[in-house]
Amino acid sequence: MLALASSTCLSAGLLSGIFSGSAHAFTPHEIHDANGNKVFDLHLFYPNDGTYDGEKPSSWVFDPATLDRIYSAAQYWSDIIKIRPGINPAIINIGTEEEENAFAYSPIATEVNGAGTLVNAALNNGLIDPAQLLDGAHGMISIGKMDWDWEQPFVPSQLIQTSQVDMTSTLIHEMAHALGISASVNYDQQPGAPVEAEFQSVLNAWSSHLIDGNGKAAAANQTIICNYCYAAEEGADTFDVSAGWAYFSGSHVDEVLNGAMPGIPLRVDSSLQPGRLDQPFSHVELRNSMMSHQQYSNYMSLREAEFAALQDIGYTIDRRNLFGYSVYNDGVTLLNDNPFFARNSEGTGYIPNTFNTATMGLGLHVYGSDNTVIQRADLLSAGAGGAGIRVDGIGNDLIILPGTRVYADGLNGLGVMFAYGRDHTLTQRGDVEALGENGIAVSFDFGHNSMGDDTEYRGSYFVTSQVADLENYFPDYYAAALAEVSGPLVSTFDLTGRVAGSRAAIYMSDNAYVGEINVMQGASITGDIVSNYREMDENNDLRLTQLRFGLEADDQGKATDNTDANFNISYADNITGDNLSLQFWGGSSTLTGNHDLYEVIVGQEATLAGRGQYRINDDRYFVNRGTLFSSLPGSAIFIDGNYEQSDSGRLQLAFNNQKHISNLIVTGGADLDGTLSFAPERGFYGNGFSITSDLWLQANTVNGAFTEVTTTLASPTLNATATDNGNASYTVSLSRDVHAYEQYAGSENAHNVGNVLDRLVVNPSPQLEPLIAALDFSATDGSTIRSALPQLSGEAYASANGVLINASGATRLSVTNRLSQAFGGTPVNPVSVLAFAPQQKSTQAAGAIDKVASETNSSEDLNRYAAWGTVFGSWASQSGDDNAARTKSTLGGFISGIDGSVYDNWRLGVMAGYSRSTFKTASLHSSGSSDNYTLGAYTGTEWAAAQGSIGLRTGLSYSWHNIELSRSVSFNGFSDNLSADYNAGTFQAFGELGYKYNLSQRSTLEPYANLAYVHVRTDGFTESDQNGAALAVQSGSMDTTLSMLGIRAATSFNLGNALTTVRMDLGWRHAFGDVIPTSTASFAVGSNAFTSAGNSIGRDTAFIEAGLDFAMTPTTKLGVAYQGQFGSDYIQNGVNANFSVKF
């Protein structure tokens, strides 16, 4: 019975003097919160230290293990309760006794209805009656002798970690009583007599929140009515719990329960022994609660509703730092958008995408039954013992949506945990991890009983006790408990998302049975898969968990009965479980760990590849009805047990070009049928390669034989044969076609490369072997080789030469325009001129020209010394054909010169220029640029003719080219990035003869013919590479002659006040000599040389120029011009603008 005292009230701040005057000796220990505030003063009483509860001293000495658990429990509460600044800590006396028990007590702080305990008042700076103190303390805890867990230090966890009585959870429970979870009830129970129970004359904070089964609130001196109680006097104020339950109700509790029940359920009697009163209404009767007095509890921490009750009795607790959300209801469908993150400093909200670090924090708790919970919000925990989702109850369906993160990366973290009940399902489509120390991504585990497993132990299909015959002496209790666990904890776990755990990705404890786990397309597993469950069914058969790979998922991520041919997974960790039936039904699974299993089944439409060990139950088989592929030469699939291959089965073994083989090793018997096939690993195999071994298959005994022996080689170039030599010896031979690569060429360039590959493959450089292997193990129709050969050629360098040939025209055009303009012509793209010499006396020829030339066409440049300049820009495309790919290029630059009159009406000048060319052949993944530097000389003259003049314009130039080109080669897993930096030069000589005819004062017409010789020379060089595809390109040259016939026309007119000139040039260009550029190269590591042709420069092209000038003022002129060339192989476009001012 709880005793209350009455006295004068004091504030908590006055107690320090009282405590210091105590005559008792004790060992103090301080507990602080995360901010350094002292929350608890623990007074540890050893024997001979005096009384710790006002009545008795301690009977035994605290050992280190007990102290560890005392401090851990106190620290747990100091991290949760937010104390008010400036208060004294709560002082708690802790002692020991001989009884098999543990209890705690804190008197009511003051004789006022609704007052909390002394501990409550101390922590919340409330009023305290000093007469209520217990040997100078606010509360006390007594620890008796039980089967405590003293072997390992306490570590935070969601589940009880010991099979003994868990002291830490017990002390957390007892401290909660001191905090105020305790009812103000007087009761008396004599053997064979009804119970007499009533509320005390003053109700504490806990009792003031109680309601009975009819919703009536508790009141002082109220008579309690129960099935085992005396009948109440007529007219008495009663509290009716005859239906079995009372409830704690408050605003915070109601918020958490969300209408699931009237309040937190409480009992007046024992759940195991109805009728025996057990601290009435002082223990929480939520299923398996650590705050209950139930025989079985698998919680290490309080639940959210219990924390809410502490809030309702006056404590400040940031509940959302401990729980993201809880579902206490039954039969609801919830799309959960409640996240779990770190809290802000005020404790009023989450900080998105940051990890919560609360000890034993929980993102989502599903307490109720028959719910469908769809998790969409992220749950991020990094605190010790933290978890993402915990599921209890019966028949809950949990769905984690794609893109949802459920992380529990702290010590002992559990991403998703199913901890109680039966017939749940899990559909995991998101991202679940627990990568901290001892982390488990998905846990199926009832855990242990905090009261010790001897007291009661539960799991799938069983409830046991070592201290009581529950089935016979407590049949109703036993039947109810067994009904809660009579089924698989989880019937179906469908996985299409990610699971990753440091201790295990998927863990099934010895008490948790899972019916089936379906690993389907999209799944990613990092960490072991472990099952420790070994329980038998009613027929004494082992309950098997079917771990199935390769079924097809529906749109909701749930398994269907269909196999999935596209399924693919690689799993590098271990699978262990005596009750695991490992099954592969579709697609391809590659496993490389060591596995301890009940059996293995490879279905007809599935492939199991990799290496590793499979230990099989003695009376079971590794059954192969599909393909078993020991895929790593130099390693083996080791079956510790028996192997059976059906007529549809295929055993596939690998070898490589180093003559290493893979094996199947069977310690038991091998029953053989079906096919044996040999798979060459990708690599270079020389002609005549052969390997013979009798170690491919090793078994203790062999029954039957393979009906077919073959190879899996699928190659466009290689041929393979497999031969059964008898006595488990087999030979595999490879050969190559004579024209293995050239036969797939689709162009002349490709033929040339293919021919070289056909020759060098007899004895290639080791650097070329990966390249050849990529060709040999490509598409069987040769399509990969067909596309690869052009990439391996030097075509890009040949096409770059053609770009240089065409770019040379910018120099010629600039010079002829200058000479035409110097003699009063009107080129389409005039150059800008600065005359700096005085007018000279006209010669006789010049005078004759002046008489004939139109006065409207400028002749101001005649006989002057002049400097000039022009800028140009163009973009071009050299068309692709059945041999070379299309190349696009650009050109931009300037040319300037200086010239003057010499002899009789001749002009002589020099010029220099810079330009930059770029070129790109997209289909060959090549691009480059050239910096071009040009020097030249030119001369020209005119002779008078009827109605005009005859002009001669000639020049010589040389351009230096600094070229950078990069290209990439990529096909069938082979890639190389290649680059070159080399030099080239262009020499050209050119001339033009034109007859300028004056149609009128403002109009001229000039037919012309020109001829140019262009010589391009390139240096030899070797590409830089990474993987062997580099070319050594030889030096080369290209000689081309270009002729053009055309006609120019110009006319001027006034547009408003501006003199406007329109110009046009039409011509036809014909190329002689080297029209198609070529480049000769060999592979840099050694091969015969081969020639590659680039794009044609355009044998015949139409030339067009059009320009328009505006004389905005007598000294200012603005001009714009377009220039283009059009041919079947070449298209070029250019736009130039000109602005000139005379001074």
Cα Rg of the chain (Å, integer) = 47
Residues 160 and 39 in one domain: yes
Domain presence at residue 747: no
Cβ–Cβ < 8 Å for 988, 808? yes
Q: In total, how many domains does the chain have? A: 4
**1068: in domain:** yes
Residues 49 and 172 reside in one and the same domain? yes
Establish if 533 belongs to a structural domain. no
Residues 840 and 986 in one domain: yes
Question: 668, 643 in Cβ contact below 8 A?
Answer: yes
Please check whether residue 1061 is in contact with residue 826, taking contact to mean a CB–CB distance below 8 angstroms.
yes
Q: Identify the domain containing residue 80 by its residue range.
A: 10-179
pTM for the predicted model, two decimal places = 0.81
CB 823 within 8 A of CB 857: no
Q: What is the pLDDT of residue 1128?
A: 72
**Is the confidence at residue 1140, as pLDDT, over 70?**
no
Which of 40-54, 567-581, 821-835, 1026-1040 comes out lowest in average pLDDT? 821-835
Asked if 153 and 237 sit in the same domain, the reply is no
**What is the four-CA torsion angle of 795, 800, 805, 811, rounded to 10 degrees?**
170
In a domain, 125, yes or no: yes
Could you tell me if 918 and 1048 lie in one domain? yes
From 433, 462, 486, give the residue that closes a domain. 486
Residue 158's pLDDT is what? 97
pLDDT in tens, 1077-1101: 999 999 999 999 999 998 888 888 8
Q: Are 952 and 1003 within one domain?
A: yes
Structure confidence at residue 456 as a pLDDT band (50, 70, 90): very high
Residue 651, in any domain of the structure = no
Q: State the distance between the two ends of the chain, measured CA to CA, in whole angstroms.
A: 117
Q: pLDDT tens for residues 285-336? A: 999 999 999 999 999 999 999 999 999 999 999 999 999 999 999 999 999 9
Q: What kind and span of H or E run contains 847?
A: helix 844-852
- Provide the residue count of the chain: 1143
Phi then psi for residue 603, to 5 deg, are -70, 165
Answer whether residue 545 is part of any domain. Answer: no
Claim to verify: residue 303 and residue 230 sit in the same structural domain: yes
Q: Are 239 and 310 in a shared domain?
A: yes
25-83, pLDDT tens digit by residue? 899 999 999 989 999 999 999 999 999 988 899 999 999 999 999 999 999 999 999 99
Residues 938, 825 within the same domain: yes
Statement to judge: residues 923 and 999 lie in one domain: yes
What is the spatial distance between Cα 967 and Cα 977, in angstroms, rounded to a whole number? 6
Last residue of a domain, one of 258, 292, 317: 317
* CA dist 626 → 606, 608, 647, 664 (Å): 5, 8, 9, 15
> Is the per-residue pLDDT at 723 higher than 50?
yes
Distance CA 150, CA 167 (A): 8
Per-residue model confidence (pLDDT) at position 1137: 67
Do 1009 and 1067 lie in one domain? The reply is: yes
Between the CA atoms of 54, 57, 60 and 62, what dihedral angle is there, to the nearest 10 degrees? Answer: 50
Domain boundary among 423, 456, 486: 486
Q: For residue 323, is it within any domain?
A: no
In DSSP terms, which residues pair with 1065 in a beta bridge? 1048, 1105
Does some domain include residue 373?
no
> Residue 861: what pLDDT?
47
Q: What is the CATH number of the domain that holds 936?
A: 2.40.128.130
Q: Are both 189 and 169 inside the same structural domain? A: no
Token readout for 258 is 């969300």
Instruction: Using alpha carbons, list the distances in angstroms from residue 728 to 36, 631, 636, 709, 1132.
Output: 74, 19, 16, 11, 70
Of 21, 115, 104, 34, which is closest to residue 70 (Cα–Cα)? 104
Residue 851 pLDDT > 80: no
